[in-house]
Amino acid sequence: MTTAPIRPVQALLVVDVQSAFVSGGEAVPDAARVLDRTRDLLARARAAGALVVHLQNDGTPGTADEPHTPGWELHLPVEPGPREAVVRKTDDDGFEDTRLGELLTGAGVRELALCGVLSEMCVSATARTALRRGYRVVLPHDAHATYDIPAAPGISEAVPAAMSSRAAEWALGDEVEIVARAADVPFVAGELTAEREAAGARVR
């Protein structure tokens, strides 16, 4: 876990902070903490002019995050513009068949932070691909979460969510920068390409 001062990142990826996972009776156990840390990260990323990308999972019919159902909606407000976007996905990996890579390139991003849910699934899968593509990846320990793993007879007792999240961090290996507190992650603006500036102007 990183203890030295953290170099600034140029982007924040908010992974699947959708109502089904962070509100109501089916929320992850640490939803309140993740929402608090995510709000802080969003405020500071926006203030610095960093790129913000909200990943939104399109679940299959009948699931909690089925598109255009209440659980699918992003739980925190989005501020559309040249430095903030929503990317819908159908895979754990936020890069798979999406425009995420294009957005990061267009915003001059080489270093990024992730937060959200679920630690061992979409957060982990997106972090792995980012590392594979050569990005520096920062993962604040207190800004991602998952569910408890139920007991499996003959295999294991129940695994608390906090342990599962920590195991997901460990499994990412030495390349990812795990930091204890989201509050310690600094942001800086990347350099937008002309095309990205124009696209943002059209959105506004």
Task: Cite the active site residues.
Answer: 122
Cα–Cα distance measured from residue 150 to residue 133, given in angstroms and rounded to the nearest whole number: 34
Name the amino acid, one letter, at 152. Answer: A
How is residue 120 annotated by DSSP?
I
Kindly state the helix (H) or strand (E) to which residue 88 belongs, with its residue range: strand 84-89
- Residue 183 to residue 50: CA distance in whole angstroms: 15
Name the residue among 132, 99, 126, 102 with its Cα closest to residue 114: 126
Residue 34, H or E segment: helix 31-48
Residue pair 147/29 in contact (Cβ under 8 Å)? The answer is yes
Residue given tokens 């990308």 in the structure block: 53
Q: What is the rounded CA–CA span in Å between residue 166 and residue 138?
A: 14
Q: In whole angstroms, what is the distance from residue 149 CA to residue 137 CA?
A: 26
